[in-house]
Structure 1
Amino acid sequence: MTQTYHRRYYPEDVDAVIAYVAPNDANNHDDKGYERFFETVGTKECRDALNAVQRAMLERRDALLPKFEVTAKEKGYTFTNTLGTTDRAYEFAVLDQVWNFWQSGTAADCPTVPDAETVSDDDLYTWSLGHGLSVYEDSSLGVNGSGPYYRQAAAQLGWAGLKFKHLKGVRHYPDIYQPNSVLPADMRTSYNGKAISDVDKWVRSDSERMMFVYGQNDPWSAEQFEPSSHDSHKYIVPGSNHGARISALPADQRDEAIAAIKRWAGQ
């Protein structure tokens, strides 16, 4: 994504760009692409099981929040400068859990999803920690961590404003799922979509020698750049996540992509 932006504003700096899993939220008010992704990724059985686990994490908040607090204490995590409280941090982590499951995992992980109705609190929490329950905390955010990305998302890139219809009635903070929530107060900002709209239009119409590689099961790949007809290409790696690579493409597409790269490099 960074290289796509760089290519737009400094087109002579490099000969070509290979952009891996670059999200393109050109219209931040329309997140149907992300909603559609979570309605279709994997199998229905896996989707239903993940949604049930996510809901159970919030339904059992009274039992699981103390476990989350223990994790935070053991790791030295604090939330006062960003999300504010442990309860808010817990809910944010749960909201991001299914996204992270698909971002880093694969369909092969689906059989490990526990039965939300019968799993114990301990097993539910332990499984979640290993499958998407990422803790967003002060030391990894702000200016010394991923804060600059969230700042740009809040200001220019946009974000996936998921509705979480299956979590109706169990959320405490209906507006928390947005980048400003994980930023210190002095880094929060308002959104202006002019930059991403400009880049999106330029990629579609005027860009040259651009290659976009996406993962079929990667939520970041749910809204994609569409390359122009000027010696540019897009590939989707079957079954892949946020680690999608050219080497994992079907052989004919892989060879085609490599040939284009060699040609761009003058080989």
Structure 2
Amino acid sequence: MSSCCSARRPRTSDVCHALVRPLVQSGSRREDRSCEPSARSAVDADAWRLLPTSEVAISTASAAAVCCSRGALAISDGEVSPSKSWRLLASARARCMSEFGPMNRAVGFIVAAVIGSASGCGDNLGPPAMNRAQLLDRLRALPGVTVTEATTKVPDAEYFILHFTQPVDHFDPNQSEGTFQQEVSLLHRSELARVPMIIHTSGYWDNYRDSEVELTHLLDANQVSIEHRYFGASRPVPTDWTKLTIQQMAADEHAIIMALRRVYGGAFLTTGGSKGGTTAVFHHRYYPDDVDGTVAYVAPISFGTPDPRYPPFFDKVGPDWCRRKVVEVATDLLVNRRDAMEMLAAKQSDFAYDRIAIGPAVESAISGFEWSFWQYFGVNHCGLLPELSASDEEMFAFLDKVSPVADCSDQRLANLEAYYYQTYNQLGYPDYYVPYLTLRYSENDYSGELPTPEPAYDASAMHDVLDYFSAHGERMMLIYGEWDPWIASSISGLKDTDHDAALTILQHWTGVTPRTDAWRGATISPALAVAPFEPRMLPVRLRATSTAR
């Protein structure tokens, strides 16, 4: 996340099994086999191993522990150094691990907390599926829900756009602040119990619409994609920004799930990537009984404004020569080409710079070049870094691909101001200190990024999430990659052992045998997507305190 400013129905015996529960006590490991069945499935016979006790962090390929009550599952695709203390469960030394390793888009590793009961046990197929007219009647009968029919190219699916009437403040019994309409896209295949429902959150506006996310493809599932409150069209008017909290959004999602469970009988899984992953995690924290499992792709948890644990990543990511060249390009852009970059940015007539002036916008883009390169490009694109002899036009074109100046434009700030508010209010953000660049502008030059005066940071929000999962986390799979600071990998991109393990967990949760063909990724509607799809850098990087690297 980050921009400017920032199938076969499995037998019960296939899926209803519990595995070894690892416990870490006083530096030693013991196994609690109280929930282990007499005959464990072939799936875990060889692949599952307890985490090493001397090094709680993941360090070997296919290291794994699956807990039947509380614990964690961890799988890595190779030797991994413990560098990401911000990841979920990072501080839970009393649990199975303390830190997770680097990330990669193509090949990553999994951290899953507790496999609980499988909702898919048994073969209750229920009555025949409803036809389209019957489905519409059922959906329109849901209180506070309006339904619009739409078309889709997704095979064997029907597409509807729903609007849920939500309280601005779920915790005010008088609802004195009124309601708003929250947009939800629905891909429908069947309401029968054998077909799961995937609850997807992007963390932003609803730009997935009828595009399948990975779990939907793997499980031939139904899917809803929920627009985050205060993004897109799902914003109350007038807007009380104090009601944009993780607790309120979790309550939004809870209300939507409870309504849809009146129609759909299959297992419910929540999912999302990056900020959408954290949104799914937050919902699971407050309403764990809503769903049968959660799959979060790179859900970053930050503990501060700023959080100083990020910068050391850039000292180790990728080959030495590539890291040096990234720094050289960024330095050249700011030291030798600042004026040229401002002139070329001003020629992009589609963007206005009233909230943040073009000078600070250019400086912000260049200071974020290193982060954005590793987030969206990575080691496979090191050879594309321009030579310092390149022309100003060539250098600007590359900057525009990696870290666009237009991320600070009025248009993109307006689309992402709700996100920026959240980072200051509860989510926190990384320390973006760039020691090799001397910056000209101060935080006052970036005040236009926020829709309100800067809110006071609530440090308790993220610590509460961490504390909860350290003590109570279950039925969660967290997927991370290797090269970039926080963007996601995919289940389809995992190495064979890890891939098979992830599919086994999904089967255990849903009772559905996942597909094995590769997922090619969701297609985002160009008319709805705001480039970049997510902010490449947080809006606050220039405000970060200096942290030695």
> Could you tell me which residue of structure 2 aligns to residue 238 of structure 1?
none
Name the counterpart of 2:313. 37
Percent of pairs identical after alignment? 30
Determine if the alignment matches structure 1 residue 124 to structure 2 residue 124. no
Q: Which amino acid aligns with 1:183?
A: L
Residue 182 of structure 1 and its aligned partner are, at CA, apart by 2.3
Counterpart of 1:99, as a letter, is W
State the Cα deviation string for residues 205-262 of structure 1 (Å, max 9, x = none).
2110111001111212xxxxxxxxxxxxxxxxxxxxx241011111101110110111
- Partners of 1:29 and 1:130 in 2: how far apart? 26
CA contact (8 A) 1:88 1:173 kept: yes
8 Å contact from structure 2 (residues 307, 429) kept in 1: no
Structure 1 counterpart SS, 2:295: strand
CA separation in 1, counterparts of 2:482 and 2:499? 15
For these two proteins, the number of residue pairs brought into alignment is: 233
* Structure 2 unaligned spans of 5+: 1-277, 513-549
Q: Given residue 394 of structure 2, which amino acid in structure 1 is its aligned partner?
A: D
> Radius of gyration: which is bigger?
2
Partner of 2:460: 194
Deviation at 1:188, TM superposition (A): 3.3
More relative contact order in 1 or in 2 (CA 8 Å, sep 6+)?
A: 1
The match for 1:182 among 441, 446, 449 is: 449
Q: Which has the higher helix share?
A: 1
* 1:211 lines up with 2:487 in the alignment: no
Q: For 1:78-114, what per-residue CA distance to the aligned partner results, in whole angstroms no more than 9, with x for missing partners?
A: 2323x2x111111112222222222221311101112
1:263 maps to which residue? 508
Equivalence for 1:246: 491
Q: Do the aligned partners of 1:215 and 1:244 also contact (CA within 8 Å) in 2?
A: yes
Residues 92 and 176 in structure 1, CA contact (< 8 A), matched pair in contact too: no
Is 2:290 the partner of 1:13?
yes
Distance 1:104 1:29 in 2: 22
Q: Secondary structure at the match of 2:474?
A: coil
Aligned residue for 2:464, secondary structure, equals helix
1:74-113 pair list within 5 angstroms: 75=350, 77-81=351-355, 83=356, 85-113=357-385
Name stretches of at least 5 consecutive residues in structure 1 with no aligned partner: 221-241
1:33-72, aligned counterparts within 5 Å? 34-59=310-335, 60-71=337-348
Give 1:134 deviation, angstroms: 5.1
Q: Which secondary structure does the structure 2 equivalent of 1:166 belong to?
A: coil
TM-score relative to the length of structure 1: 0.81
**Residues 345 and 405, structure 2, Cα contact 8 Å, conserved in 1:** no
TM-score by length of 2: 0.40
Q: Distance in 2 between matches of 1:26 and 1:203?
A: 15
Q: For residue 152 of structure 1, what is the aligned residue in structure 2?
A: 422
Change over 3 Å in CA distance of 1:139–1:146 after alignment to 2:
same
Distance 1:201 1:129, change over 3 A: same
Give the secondary-structure state (helix, strand or coil) at the position aligned to 2:467. helix
The one-letter amino acid paired with 2:441 is Y
Taking the aligned partners of 2:405 and 2:463, their CA distance within structure 1 comes to 30
